[in-house]
Chain A
């Protein structure tokens, strides 16, 4: 029994959320049951991810590979769970559990009625399943399908509050995201044309043999994939959909969209770039320079835009644009330190940004105000929420002992190793700007007199979710050992020349 479960665990973590998502609507009338099922699913997913990580750890980083339906690799779909997949799975699981807890307490209220809340949960689990799939799959067409599942559920999550504003944001998001998926599919098509394989490993071998015969097709494939995944992970000039979508969505949805969804596409891009094209080909085509440049522009521009926003959720959304810049910058520097930094920053930003969005959601729900300038005194009336917000902000800025510091520190070491002065300056400037747009919120909340209003911390489940996320931030920052090790090994794995 245990061996059967162990053997099928890689597919189990993907199938389970999808399966539960499809049976949820039958229980739509009993919202407590739905919430219980969702929480149970996320807990099971967490256990599954943790067990998989321990298995990979025992195998010393050798990836577990699983052939779907028993068809071996070049014909069937192959899943492979290595260090990178484990890191991402753990990240998905550790964020989706608190967000589910938070949603169970506030979703019915936020979207209006249990029916709608059930729909929200269906999309939530579909997104979770798609994310888990992106982590483990090593088949190019499978990547496209999962990206589409994730995109549609993201758009659905944005519009789940049924506000006209949300519908508009969701439509713009849908159009741009579909443009992105068409480009991704085109890129995969070009790769298939010259390699004849959809399996990443086989495609990579073939590509490194034949790419010099088809340089133009390789360029087309690379640019299609970069722009496609760039639109979806909100790389700076392509981020236009993000602020509206993430601020119009209900708070748990924005937490999961900002924290996880953009990272899912980034992971797909990392897999395609490093596992299919390979580091040597990226260097030959100077792709790393383009990525570095785009990353730096995203950090500066995203932070500057964030500084000018007065609406709390919009400011956080623009901050995501800036943090995605860090991820791409680390990919562009392409050495082991910077990749470790990127992967660690990805995980820590997922936790931090979910915490920030959930805290913001709790504040907006309690006060009914969404402008930062109107939030005077929130810190005194809602101590726990604001404490979590502060911990997350401090961590995102990158103060030592918090998780954001470790990712940024490794990125900085990576840029020193690459000898890129400009990147060093941008990383530090990005942190300063980050302090510039997050600390004023804390100042307003704590040091300005509170109006005589009855604002209170949210109920126990929401508080638990917030405290869980804050605890994650502290743990990742204080004892980063195992996670950093995982990120380091995943980074070294990506840099192997095939």
Chain B
């Protein structure tokens, strides 16, 4: 138990990411409101970004800019952060496209509830 707790405390960013991921996935699966589904997707992606960036972090590491005065410095890994910038751009474009689709659906069905839309379509 102690060991588990210690691990949890040391690796708290990963646990936070896991919890966020589960919240996001749960929202996507269970909510029928299209906006809430979209928010769930965004939460899930944030969880992945958090995990990725935490993987590049080194406790006590310096900003990754070469410092002549202090050559022994430990730098954090900048690559995951750079990659996640791309990830965020992708996630923003997905969100924009999904919002456009929601507008289209609202115009034709007058609702943003997925179940209601399925009912209306069958009629």
A175-183, A373-381, A398-406: which one contacts chain B? A175-183
A189 touching B102, Cβ below 8 Å: no
Which residues from B are CB-within-8-Å of A155? 97, 101
Interface flag for A192 (CB, 8 Å): yes
Q: How far is the CB of A22 from chain B (nearest CB, A)?
A: 15
Which residues from B are CB-within-8-Å of A159? 101, 104
Interface flag for B23 (CB, 8 Å): no
Known: A164-B108, A178-B94. A185 touches B48 (CB 8 A): yes
Task: Please measure, in the bound complex, the distance between the C-alpha atom of A148 and the C-alpha atom of B38, giving whole angstroms.
Answer: 16
In chain A, positions 137-167 with a C-beta closer than 8 Å to chain B are 141, 144-145, 148, 152, 155-156, 159, 162, 164-165, 167
**Interface mask (B43-86 → A, CB under 8 Å = 1, otherwise 0):** 01101100110010000000000000000000000001001001
Interface flag for A193 (CB, 8 Å): yes
Closest A residue to B91 by beta carbon equals: A178
A171 touching B98, Cβ below 8 Å: yes
A145 touching B109, Cβ below 8 Å: no
Task: Please measure, in the bound complex, the distance between the C-alpha atom of A189 and the C-alpha atom of B93, giving whole angstroms.
Answer: 21
Q: How far is the CB of B30 from chain A (nearest CB, A)?
A: 13
- One of A148, A152, A179 near B41 (C-beta < 8 A): A179
Q: How far is the CB of B78 from chain A (nearest CB, A)?
A: 13
B-side interface size class = 20 to 34
Interface flag for B22 (CB, 8 Å): no
Q: How far is the CB of B24 from chain A (nearest CB, A)?
A: 8
Known: A152-B93, A164-B105, A179-B41. A174 touches B98 (CB 8 A): yes
Main secondary structure of the interface of B (DSSP, over half): helix
- One of B28, B34, B105, B121 near A179 (C-beta < 8 A): B28
**Interface mask (B86-123 → A, CB under 8 Å = 1, otherwise 0):** 11001001100110011011001100000001100100
Task: Please measure, in the bound complex, the distance between the C-alpha atom of A386 and the C-alpha atom of B101, giving whole angstroms.
Answer: 36
Interface flag for A168 (CB, 8 Å): yes
Which residues from B are CB-within-8-Å of A193? 55
Interface flag for A127 (CB, 8 Å): no
Q: How far is the CB of A183 from chain B (nearest CB, A)?
A: 8
A168 touching B48, Cβ below 8 Å: no
Which residues from B are CB-within-8-Å of A189? 48, 51-52, 55, 80
**Interface mask (B21-44 → A, CB under 8 Å = 1, otherwise 0):** 100010010000010011001001
Candidate in A152, A162, A189, A193 with the most chain B CB atoms within 10 angstroms? A189
Task: Please measure, in the bound complex, the distance between the C-alpha atom of A283 and the C-alpha atom of B94, giving whole angstroms.
Answer: 36
B52 touching A167, Cβ below 8 Å: no
Known: A175-B41, A182-B44, A192-B80. A167 touches B97 (CB 8 A): no
B94 touching A174, Cβ below 8 Å: yes
Task: Please measure, in the bound complex, the distance between the C-alpha atom of A181 and the C-alpha atom of B105, giving whole angstroms.
Answer: 24
Q: How far is the CB of A173 from chain B (nearest CB, A)?
A: 10
**Interface mask (A175-201 → B, CB under 8 Å = 1, otherwise 0):** 100110110011001001100000000
A171 touching B34, Cβ below 8 Å: yes
Task: Please measure, in the bound complex, the distance between the C-alpha atom of A171 and the C-alpha atom of B121, giving whole angstroms.
Answer: 14
B104 touching A182, Cβ below 8 Å: no
Candidate in B34, B44, B104 with the most chain A CB atoms within 10 angstroms? B104
Which residues of A are in contact with B by a Cβ distance under 8 Å?
Answer: 141, 144-145, 148, 152, 155-156, 159, 162, 164-165, 167-168, 170-171, 174-175, 178-179, 181-182, 185-186, 189, 192-193
Enumerate the 8 nearest inter-chain pairs by beta-carbon distance, A residue then B residue, closest first.
Answer: A164-B108, A167-B104, A193-B55, A189-B52, A171-B101, A148-B90, A186-B48, A182-B44
Given contacts A178-B98, A185-B45, 7 further A-B contacts (CB under 8 A): A141-B83, A155-B101, A171-B101, A174-B101, A179-B28, A182-B47, A185-B87
Q: 6 A-B contacts, Cβ less than 8 Å apart?
A: A144-B87, A167-B104, A168-B105, A171-B102, A175-B38, A178-B98
Which residues of B are in contact with A by a Cβ distance under 8 Å?
Answer: 21, 25, 28, 34, 37-38, 41, 44-45, 47-48, 51-52, 55, 80, 83, 86-87, 90, 93-94, 97-98, 101-102, 104-105, 108-109, 117-118, 121
